[in-house]
């Protein structure tokens, strides 16, 4: 069973403390907590009380912000406090145990602080911050591997003060908590699909919706009420827009026709689970959720390439800022899973032709009488940076065709160059990069696995403008003009056989055959 599968079991009486150290705060009711200030004191007074109570590993965080609270609004717990508890109740889908974060205790602390008692407010403040820091560290902890090209990209277990400093930058604490702003938007969208698809994690799994006529928007009645309960919506008997959205997302998660109408297939899938629909994609959702866990939040400027679905997204400022189609590697020349830093762009690029393509495509034409130069290529003496251009007549082309000679051949810059007008470089020993292409017709295809491992961009100019803040233009016709990126941008080459779509989740084939071994690894870990 994969992490997060099935309903999390709540163990009565096991309330694990969310406080970071016993000395972190002064507990209400102790000698030091006597003579509490009256209720209704100002937020300044709350900050002063936090200052007197906070300790341990949260002390530095609160000192740098003048002990100003994250969770207290207008002298009482803000809505973000209960929003955090709502999130905690669903962390089974993330492979975590809700009891670790003591939601029952947090509810009690919120109730105690509702009256405005300063000590209770300060105690709640520190408890919530400690819990959130632990939750973020646990949720961001990866369970699968990817190759990191740079040390700075490798995941770390950040200290609570570092985590909370980033949290404090959020424009809305409530929105940040509700949307899990510390995770990638791709993670959040897959997580929501799994919450809907996995009985016992979202909604009420033991509620059956009786068979009957189609249920659709605008209808009401007992069956609608049960449908709402099953999908985890507030009580009511109206088939409103919220219910239609949940139904569509459930349908998408199970591979059913997505129409927002609860017909026989949808009701059977809800009542009987995977066997009723004939399609169980929950394990696939969990696997891709684990892949998405590797990604940074949307406040981190970065690029994501999905080699399974042949798509690219780029993020910054807390949101997705663009997407485009890409062409990626064939099953024989796969685009790898790895993460690097885009450090510069190269205008008017050469293309170093892979030796197998030189043997298959170029050598026969040379032997048939079409010179290397007429084909738009040139030969070099070796594969080093100091290589010199050599005459093509110096090469044994019969040996090249036979596979016994492997010369270095590169395509010259120009309109027909396979690299197009620009390539974006993130140094790696596999020769993988993002680049333009003249073969725009390939982007209209559903299956876009045609490259030798590199990533061809549908709109390289748009990505260049996003990266550099300007349109990239060469100064002359000179080949290989390098433009450094002042602040390098992370790029993640990923593999999503389930990814977010307009109506929930888009499932694609597993072109590289990676899912089965990855699922086996997760199940055994």
Q: What is the pLDDT of residues 120-143, one digit of tens each?
A: 999 999 999 999 999 999 999 999
Residue among 143, 302, 435, 521 flagged as catalytic: 435
Q: In the numeric block, which tokens belong to residue 164?
A: 């909370």
- Highest CATH level, class, for 299-500: mainly beta
Residue 521 is among the residues annotated as catalytic for this protein: no
Give tens-digit pLDDT for 427-474: 999 989 999 999 999 999 989 999 999 999 999 999 999 999 999 999
- The DSSP annotation for 63-132 comes to HHTTT--SSEETTEE-HHHHHHHHHHTTGGGGT--GGGG-HHHHHHHHHHHTT--HHHHHHHHHHHHHHH
Rounded distance, CA 487 to CA 508, Å? 34
Write the burial class of residue 52 (CB in 10 Å: 0-12 exposed, 13-18 middle, 19+ buried): middle
Residue 435 is among the residues annotated as catalytic for this protein: yes
Given a cut of 60, is residue 36 above it in pLDDT? Answer: no
Given a cut of 70, is residue 14 above it in pLDDT? Answer: no
- Give, for 314, the enclosing helix (H) or strand (E): strand 311-316
Domain boundaries, the chain: 31-182, 187-288+512-524, 299-500
Residue 491's nearest CA partner among 427, 406, 443 is 427
Considering the entire predicted model, what is its pTM?
A: 0.77
Residue among 143, 449, 454, 521 flagged as catalytic: 454
The correct CATH number of 187-288+512-524 out of 1.10.3720.10, 1.10.101.10, 1.10.8.80, 3.40.50.720 is: 1.10.101.10
322 by DSSP, 3-state: which?
strand
- Cβ pair 430, 340 in contact under 8 A: no
Is 299-500 the same fold as 187-288+512-524? no
Rounded distance, CA 108 to CA 89, Å? 15
Alpha-carbon torsion, ordered 210, 211, 213, 219, to 10 deg: 20
Mean pLDDT along residues 40-64: 84
The DSSP output letter for 135 is: H
- The DSSP annotation for 146-183 comes to -EESSGGGS-----HHHHHHHHTT-S-HHHHHHTTTTS
Give tens-digit pLDDT for 140-178: 999 999 999 999 999 998 999 999 999 999 999 999 999
- Give, for 364, the enclosing helix (H) or strand (E): helix 363-367
Residue 12's pLDDT band, with cuts at 50, 70 and 90, is very low
- Give, for 455, the enclosing helix (H) or strand (E): strand 455-457
Residue 71's nearest CA partner among 162, 176, 179, 185 is 176
């Amino acid at each position: 069973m994969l992490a997060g599968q099935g309903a999390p079991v709540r163990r009565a009486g096991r309330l694990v403390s969310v406080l970071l150290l016993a000395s972190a705060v002064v507990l209400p009711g102790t000698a030091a907590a006597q003579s509490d200030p009256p209720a209704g004191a100002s937020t300044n007074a709350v900050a002063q009380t936090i200052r007197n109570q906070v300790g341990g590993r949260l002390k530095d965080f609160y000192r740098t912000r003048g002990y100003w609270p994250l969770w207290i609004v207008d002298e009482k717990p803000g809505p973000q406090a209960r929003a955090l508890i709502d999130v905690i109740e669903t962390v089974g889908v993330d492979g975590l145990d809700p009891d670790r974060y003591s939601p029952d205790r947090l509810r009690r602390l919120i109730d105690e602080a509702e009256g405005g008692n300063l000590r209770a407010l300060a105690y709640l403040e520190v408890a919530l911050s400690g819990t959130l820091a632990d939750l973020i560290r646990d949720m961001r902890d990866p369970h699968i591997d990817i190759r990191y090209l740079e040390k700075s990209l490798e995941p770390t277990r950040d200290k609570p003060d570092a985590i909370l400093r980033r949290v404090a930058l959020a424009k809305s604490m409530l929105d940040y908590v509700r949307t899990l702003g510390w995770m990638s938007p791709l993670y959040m969208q897959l997580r929501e699909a799994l919450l809907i698809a996995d009985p016992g994690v979202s909604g009420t799994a033991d509620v059956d919706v009786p068979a009957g006529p189609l249920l659709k928007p605008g209808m009401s009645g007992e069956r609608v009420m049960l449908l709402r309960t099953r999908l985890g919506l507030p009580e009511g008997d109206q088939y409103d827009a919220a219910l239609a959205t949940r139904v569509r997302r459930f349908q998408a998660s199970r591979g059913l026709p997505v129409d927002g109408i609860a017909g026989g297939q949808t009701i059977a899938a809800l009542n009987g689970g995977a066997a009723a629909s004939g399609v169980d994609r929950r394990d696939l959702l969990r696997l891709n959720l684990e892949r998405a866990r590797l990604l940074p939040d949307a406040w981190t400027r970065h690029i994501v390439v999905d080699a399974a679905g042949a798509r690219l997204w780029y993020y910054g400022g807390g949101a997705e800022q663009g997407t485009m189609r890409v062409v990626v590697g064939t099953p024989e020349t796969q685009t790898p899973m790895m993460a690097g830093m885009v450090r510069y762009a190269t205008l008017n690029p050469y293309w170093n032709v892979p030796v197998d393509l030189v043997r298959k495509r170029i050598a026969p034409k040379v032997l048939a009488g079409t010179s290397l130069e007429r084909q738009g290529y040139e030969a070099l003496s070796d594969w080093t940076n100091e290589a010199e251009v050599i005459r093509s007549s110096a090469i044994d082309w019969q040996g090249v065709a036979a596979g016994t000679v492997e010369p270095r051949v590169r395509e010259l810059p120009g309109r027909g160059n396979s690299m197009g007008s620009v390539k974006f470089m993130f140094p790696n020993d596999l020769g993988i990069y993002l680049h333009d292409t003249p073969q725009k017709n390939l982007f209209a295809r559903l299956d876009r696995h045609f490259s030798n491992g590199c990533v061809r961009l549908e709109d390289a100019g748009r990505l260049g403008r996003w990266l550099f803040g300007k349109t990239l233009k060469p100064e002359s016709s000179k080949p290989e003009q390098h433009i450094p990126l002042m602040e390098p941008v992370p790029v993640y080459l990923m593999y999503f056989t389930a990814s977010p779509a307009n109506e929930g989740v888009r499932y694609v084939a597993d072109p590289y055959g990676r899912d089965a071994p990855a699922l086996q690894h997760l199940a055994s870990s």
